[in-house]
Structure 1
Amino acid sequence: MATLNPGPRVVKQAIHWLLKLRESGNSPLLQHQCEQWRAAHQDHELAWQRVQSLHQELNLRAVPGANVALQTLESGTQRLQRRQALKLLGGVVMLGSAAWLGKDVDALSNWTSDYASATGERRRFDLPDGSVLQLNTDSAADLAFDARQRLIRLKRGEMMLTCANDAASAVGRPLLVQTRHALLEGFDGRFVVRQDETCTQISVSQGNVAFHAPGALQWVTAGQSLRVDAQGASLLQQPEMDASAWTEGLVVTRDMRLRAFLAEVGRYRHGFVSCSDEIADLRLSGVFRLEDTDQLLQLLPQTLPVNVSYRTRWWVRLERQA
């Protein structure tokens, strides 16, 4: 019977596969062998997903003390101890003595953030100025309110902000949201901000948002969505999803590619969801509830010619119906 916390031996195996693939330049043969190991047991897949996600988030070798920890884990002469240098999946991780990490991929970020949510969790926070901050799945934000401004730094993920007037200040401090790609200023109203590695997307439900571009100011009004990336800013004409539906526990799609839909659903669950290339471009429109993503996936064959198969509890793949 598998548990939610794979044992040290499985953790060590997952790290071993990660390092072998990294050093081999992702050789097809090793990738196939790794996939076979992952499919052999659901604990293998869970360990792989957590180790892989942690590696991507933190770059393990860049963390102080991590090289020593990884060398220890790669060595066949020493066992993985309960409080050894790297304890990835037991609920707590320590790299050297530099940082502690929880069993979720972004636990370190959660612990060092003013506001955070776990995978599959949505949270609401009342801010000191009366504004309301809502975080979507696996998101984190910091607050920096001072005499000059009210600043929210979105560190990762997605948030909705319902703006309040700055009644506590005679000067009316601006209400700002900062991501790695954009600086935004909110006024009376409500808007969603979502960021990933490549871009930030702003969707305004009510009121107006100002995007502070270098040497310019661009307004985003109610009903509009703006994408900001390294190439600049552009309005999205027909978004594939209702940007604020997640606050109601929903995904609402409009002619969305199946592969993109599965990537969205994957944000709300642990593990890996994929589909074959031949069905990746199937289109999907509808309203889907997020409280049970397994049930959500089982609904797809009712509207699309697909089969849903569970290679493990955490590894789901969709194929075309025979």
Structure 2
Amino acid sequence: MPSAVTPEARAVARAAGQWLALMESGAANDDDRRQLQHWRDSSSAHESAWQKAQLLRQRFCGLPTALAMATLDRPDPGRRAVLKRALGVAALVPAAWLISRQLPLDAWQADLQTATGERKRFPLADGSTLQLNTASAVNVDLQARLLTLVRGEMALKVPGSTALTIQAPYGRIAVSHGEVCVRLDTQACRVSVVSGAVQVQPLQGPPISLGEGQEVILGASGAGVPKAFDGQLPGWREGVLMAQNQPLGDFLRELGRYRSGLLRWDPVLETLRLTGSFRLDNTDRILELLTASLPVDVHMRTRYWVTLAPRKKTAGKNSA
């Protein structure tokens, strides 16, 4: 069974593609090259991704050279204008090619997909409703009454009496009347029943019946112990990211699922606590709100390269 690619690996691949686009654009300057070297030196994963990016030089040598998607937010209008004129489909090729080498092929060939930061609702022909969260992919076979979760997270609402089955890497979930959310992570799958009841068949072990407000984690070795959750709280289906006294590190890892590029933070920020609800339709705004409620600063080199750091203390005006 192929392992799922982590959001961190996906972001590194995307960043390497963006760096390649800039280096091949003809608009890179000495500062850009220094920044690239710093990025490569900061992590072995970065260097590995960059070496893979070099393989693209020959594959895409016939494409237009100005492929610098990662520099559009820079203040120099002359550089921005040059790069914008060359953007288009070609600007997406390096990052997409690199990511495709790390993401499962079937995710790119799935019937229904969402990109990073995108959420979509799909009415199905039988009256059911399917929602896909960010960076998700599902295959649909209504004739066989089967949906296969390939990647990411989905919600399925089934109003009728004929069950639909969700096939996930770690088990099957049968929904006859109700709503269920299924999230596929790197090594597990979370099944949460919003309403109604479902039957879960793990890869290992006996089937499990879950009722409204219950969820369970499925893994390669079977199912965990079902536990309660509050299905009435707003969530991604309503376009909301909730935090209830949550460690900031956990919140940022979740937020990173909805952003393209790299989102980093100083490890000292991991244990800060956060409570609030945030609209997912503007993740830049979420970062701004964090600076208003927590002692953190957000540094944006570009929209695709963001770092959070502890806020620097400044001496008071009347200090001795």
Q: Residue 311 of structure 1: CA displacement?
A: 3.2
Q: Distance in 2 between matches of 1:267 and 1:198?
A: 16
**2:274 alignment partner in structure 1:** 284
Residue 255 of structure 1 aligns with which residue? 245
How far 1:81 sits from its partner (Å)?
A: 2.1
- Alpha carbon RMSD of aligned pairs, Å? 4.1
Letter in structure 1 aligned against 2:178: G
C-alpha offsets along residues 27-53 of structure 1, whole Å, 9 cap, x if unaligned? xxxxx98562579xxxxxxxx79x959
Identity %: 32
Where do 4+ consecutive residues of structure 1 move more than 3 Å? 4-9, 32-35, 69-73, 91-94, 101-111, 235-244
What amino acid is aligned across from residue 192 of structure 1 in structure 2? C
Equivalence map 1:54-203=2 (5 Å): 73=57, 80-82=61-63, 90=90, 93=93, 112-146=109-143, 149-165=144-160, 172=162, 174-203=163-192
**Greater relative CO, 1 or 2 (CA 8 Å, sep 6+):** 2
Aligned residue in 2 for 1:221 = 211
Aligned residue in 2 for 1:63: none
Are 1:245 and 2:223 matched, yes or no? Answer: no
1:233-255 deviations in whole A, cap 9, x for unaligned?
22465769988611111001222
Counterpart Cα distance in 1 of 2:187 and 2:125: 31
CA distance in 1, matches of 2:301, 2:92: 27
CA distance in structure 2 between the aligned counterparts of 1:309 and 1:278, rounded to whole angstroms: 16
Q: Determine the C-alpha separation between the residues in 2 that align with 1:283 and 1:231.
A: 33
TM-score under structure 1 length normalisation = 0.68
Structure 1 residue 130, shift from structure 2 partner: 1.1
AA paired with 1:248?
E
Please give the alpha-carbon distance, in whole angstroms, between the structure 1 residues aligned to 2:195 and 2:232. 14
Q: Deviations over 1:192-245 (max 9, x none)?
A: 111022110111110011111345111121111211123432246576998861
* Alpha carbons of structure 1 residues 248 and 79: separation in structure 2 relative to 1, 3 Å: closer
2:247–2:274 CA contact under 8 A, matched in 1: yes
- Which segments of 5 or more consecutive residues in structure 1 lack a partner in the other structure? 14-31, 40-47, 61-68, 95-100, 167-171
The answer as to 2:197 corresponding to 1:208 is yes
SS state of the match for residue 216, structure 1? Answer: coil
Instruction: Return closer, same or farther for 1:144/1:221 CA change in 2, 3 Å cut-off.
Output: same
